[in-house]
Amino acid sequence: MQPSPTSDHPAPVIDRTVPSGGRTLREPPFDGPQVHHTSTPAAGRRPPARHEGPAASEARVLAVVDGPDTADYTDAADYVAHTATLRGVVRQRLVTRALIEHLPPAPARLIDIGGGNGVQAMEFARRGYDVTVCEPDSRMLAEARRVLAGAPESVRRRVELVQGDGRDAVRLVGTGWDATFCHGVIMFVPEPAPLLNVLVELTRPGGIVSVVGKNGPALALRAGLQSRWQDTAALLDEPGFTAAAGPGRQPTVPLPPGDDPANVAAILTAAGTRPLAWYGIRTFTDHLGDLPPGPDVDTVVDAEWAAGARDPYRGIARLIHHVHRRTE
């Protein structure tokens, strides 16, 4: 594949063990996710540190924890398993379907920050794009190597793996990318602005920035559909609720800034982008746990795609997909 952009800094750790085409829908007008802050009980456990830097050992609340079924994955093995569930398949296929309407034609150079085991990267490599995955977790990269080893040579030569934290990506892979992806990462960092600013810096003027994060104000939906009523009630509390407000109630914490779609969109815009579209991901299927895909998976994805591109459905989806263009 094409070499990474040049950099004046030391060369990154690059994995050299592996050699270096959906239904269209009119793009929804972008008026920004109209969301407001909610809050949730303080986390009982700390989310995984897949995308944290050297200070990862510090105790802190990094993401909304909305009951016992909060996490789709907690480590590399769980993430790999999650990608094979119906929820995982829906997420990956909806992101791909949205992006093919906005990306420049192949071969273009794409960087996937926090790309995990490379599922999204390999899909775009199959479509003729040159894709670099920047991922801090060595176990994720090992899984990506394993999957790539069984892929056709035309895919293997278009994928490059780089180990490192996304917030250090400018040093690791340089700038000038045609598109920068960051999917399912911002919910794991304490403050999204530094990472989001890096995403914009990585992208060439006119290039695409694609970010997927939690839809914090709608997190009560999963709990409600799973009949977890105490979790549902807690997630519907207004900001500022304290234990003194009722018997047996626990203090809440503010919605983490990475789980607020309006905040994410505002940071990207302030960093020098303009929004092109936003989509909801998993309006109908998010509560289904680890259900595997069935023979009707294509119909399920079509239904989720239609819902995720229009109101009111996209506003209650579990995840929000932001697509921006760098303007400067």
Q: What is the pLDDT of residues 23-35, one digit of tens each?
A: 223 333 334 444 3
Please name the residues in contact with 101: beta carbons below 8 A apart, sequence gap of 6 or more. Answer: 24, 27
- Tens-digit pLDDT profile for residues 268-289: 999 999 999 999 999 999 999 9
Omega within 30 of 0 (cis) for the link into 107: yes
- pLDDT band of 237, cuts 50, 70, 90: confident
Residue 61 has pLDDT above 60, yes or no: no
CA angle 107, 282, 122 (to 5 degrees): 25
Phi-psi region of 98 (alpha: psi -120 to 50; beta: other; left: phi over 0): alpha
| CA-to-CA dists, residue 86 to 54, 74, 75, 91, 126, angstroms | 34, 18, 19, 9, 21
Residue 249 has pLDDT above 60, yes or no: no
- Tens-digit pLDDT profile for residues 78-123: 888 888 999 999 999 999 999 999 999 999 999 999 999 999 999 9
pLDDT at residue 148 in the model: 95
Domain ranges of the chain: 13-34+72-215+257-326
Tell me, yes or no, if the pTM score tops 0.85.
no
73 token code pair: 């994955």
The answer to whether the beta carbons of residues 124 and 131 sit under 8 Å apart is: yes
Residue 240 has pLDDT above 60, yes or no: no
pLDDT at residue 70 in the model: 59
- Tens-digit pLDDT profile for residues 43-56: 332 333 333 333 33
> How far is Cα 48 from Cα 75, in angstroms, rounded to an integer?
7
Give the β-pairing of 177-183 and 109-113: parallel
> How far is Cα 201 from Cα 138, in angstroms, rounded to an integer?
25
> How far is Cα 118 from Cα 182, in angstroms, rounded to an integer?
12
- Tens-digit pLDDT profile for residues 215-234: 999 999 999 999 999 888 88
Amino acid at 8: D
3-state SS, the chain, equals CCCCCCCCCCCCEEECCCCCCCCCCCCCCCCCCCCCCCEEECCCCCCCCCCCCHHHHCCCCCCCCCCCCCCCCCCHHHHHHHHCCHHHHHHHHHHHHHHCCCCCCCCCEEEEECCCCCHHHHHHHHCCCEEEEEECCHHHHHHHHHHHHCCCHHHHCCEEEEECCHHHHHHHHCCCEEEEEEECCHHHCCCCHHHHHHHHHHEEEEEEEEEEEECHHHCHHHHHHCCCHHHHHHHCCCCCCCHHHCCCCCCEEECCHHHCHHHHHHHHHHCCEEEEEEEEECCCCHHHCCCCCCCCHHHHHHHHHHHHCCCCHHHHCCEEEEEEEECC
> How far is Cα 175 from Cα 155, in angstroms, rounded to an integer?
23
pLDDT at residue 45 in the model: 29
- Tens-digit pLDDT profile for residues 154-210: 999 999 999 999 999 999 999 999 999 999 999 989 899 999 999 999 999 999 999
> How far is Cα 176 from Cα 301, in angstroms, rounded to an integer?
33
- CATH level 2 (architecture), domain 13-34+72-215+257-326: 3-Layer(aba) Sandwich (3.40)
Average pLDDT over residues 132-153: 95
